[in-house]
Amino acid sequence: MTPQNAPESRWSDLDRPPLNASSLRRALIRPDGLWSSFELVSTTGSTNSDLAARAEELAHGTVLVAEEQTSGRGRLDRDWVSPPRSGLFVSVLLKPDVPAERWGWLPLLTGVAAAAGLAKAAGVDMALKWPNDLLVTVGDQERKTGGILAERVGADSVVVGLGINVTLGEDELPVPGAGSLLLADAASTDRDTLLRAVLRSLEHWYEKWSAADGDPAASGLQEAYAAGCATLGRAVRAELPGERALVGDAVAIDGDGRLVVATEGGGTEAVGAGDVVHLRTER
């Protein structure tokens, strides 16, 4: 990892200025808050990998942000590559004091928190695609602008990574059909403001979930995720392990965070892992 150097001017790149580490640290770290430390690096391979490698020595609530990731990873080992300073690339280390069987809600919790924080700070309508994508609307198209990757590390830790496309133009998108806050006509693309909003929202939801001992219903998380999930009410195709595909209507998110799909035969099946494709746009 390359440390972020303080002498670099905020205005060295007027289109994509660097994040202000000292300001973010002052805003986010409080004696009674979730975030225990904040580190900003100019470039690294993967913030998730960096935190995972140091998980035993780092405290609960450690935040690592990179201006550029050269080997960013999404779910299913997909690459996540964006130009320097064009997005938010952040990972947090959590050591939840809730039953481990409820840790599977952490990526969904992060989605709810990020969508709420970005909607408020960027003025853009956000939606969630099960299980871990953040969607925006560009023109009349639904596009992915962010992704979440949660990885269990050892017996007591989870690293949650979040990547968000902020100022990418059409010619910079990593794959066709991707999006960015800029392309969705965001009212603000100031990454300091956006990162503060996302991390404060994540702190809020994590504390609610923890106070309820990880219960998604009692904490309001299950209801909030369902309310913001663009997958529900849609015809979907779920590509499941073992090269099996399931086609039907997405009807619910169950207590384990799984997507419940109603099939043509009249039954339902809960999907816990797999790649989901939306087959129609209306809800």
Q: Are residues 83 and 172 in the same domain?
A: yes
Which domain-ending residue is among 189, 208, 227? 227
List the domain range (segments joined by +) for residue 81: 2-227
Q: Are residues 68 and 15 in the same domain?
A: yes
Tell whether 222 is covered by a domain: yes
Pairing of strands 141-153, 157-165: antiparallel
Q: Are residues 236 and 223 in the same domain?
A: no
Look at residues 29, 62, 35 and name the one whose alpha carbon lies nearest to residue 48.
Answer: 62
Tell whether 73 is covered by a domain: yes
Q: Are residues 92 and 156 in the same domain?
A: yes
Q: What's residue 77's pLDDT?
A: 55
Tell whether 15 is covered by a domain: yes
Q: What's residue 175's pLDDT?
A: 86
Q: Are residues 199 and 139 in the same domain?
A: yes
Q: How crowded is residue 77: how many other Cβ atoms within 10 Å of its Cβ?
A: 7
Q: What's residue 79's pLDDT?
A: 60
Look at residues 174, 144, 178, 168 and name the one whose alpha carbon lies nearest to residue 81.
Answer: 174
Q: Are residues 174 and 261 in the same domain?
A: no
Residue 158: its H or E element: strand 157-165
Q: How crowded is residue 133: how many other Cβ atoms within 10 Å of its Cβ?
A: 20
Q: Are residues 111 and 41 in the same domain?
A: yes
pLDDT digits (tens, 9 = 90+) for 63-95: 999 999 997 655 545 565 678 999 999 999 999
Q: Are residues 257 and 177 in the same domain?
A: no
pLDDT digits (tens, 9 = 90+) for 27-60: 999 999 999 999 999 999 999 999 999 999 999 9
Tell whether 255 is covered by a domain: yes
Q: Indicate the pTM of the whole model.
A: 0.92
Task: Name the stretches of the chain with pLDDT < 70.
Answer: 1-14, 72-81, 280-283
Q: Are residues 96 and 168 in the same domain?
A: yes
Tell me the C-alpha to C-alpha distance, in Å, between residue 243 and each of 207, 218, 238, 239, 272: 38, 36, 10, 7, 15
Q: What's residue 11's pLDDT?
A: 44
Q: How far, in Å, CA of 230 to CA of 183, rounded?
A: 19
Q: Are residues 148 and 249 in the same domain?
A: no
- For tokens 């580190």, the residue is 39
DSSP state of 283: -
Tell me the C-alpha to C-alpha distance, in Å, between residue 242 and each of 141, 206, 267: 31, 34, 21
Q: How far, in Å, CA of 253 to CA of 139, rounded?
A: 28
Q: What's residue 2's pLDDT?
A: 47
Total domain count, the chain: 2
Domain holding 62: CATH number? 3.30.930.10
Tell whether 239 is covered by a domain: yes
Q: Are residues 132 and 252 in the same domain?
A: no
Domain holding 262: CATH number? 2.30.30.100
Q: Are residues 52 and 134 in the same domain?
A: yes
Pairing of strands 37-43, 62-66: parallel
Q: Which residues of 78-87 are buried (b: 16+ CB within 10 A; e: fewer)?
A: eebebebbbb
Tell whether 283 is covered by a domain: no
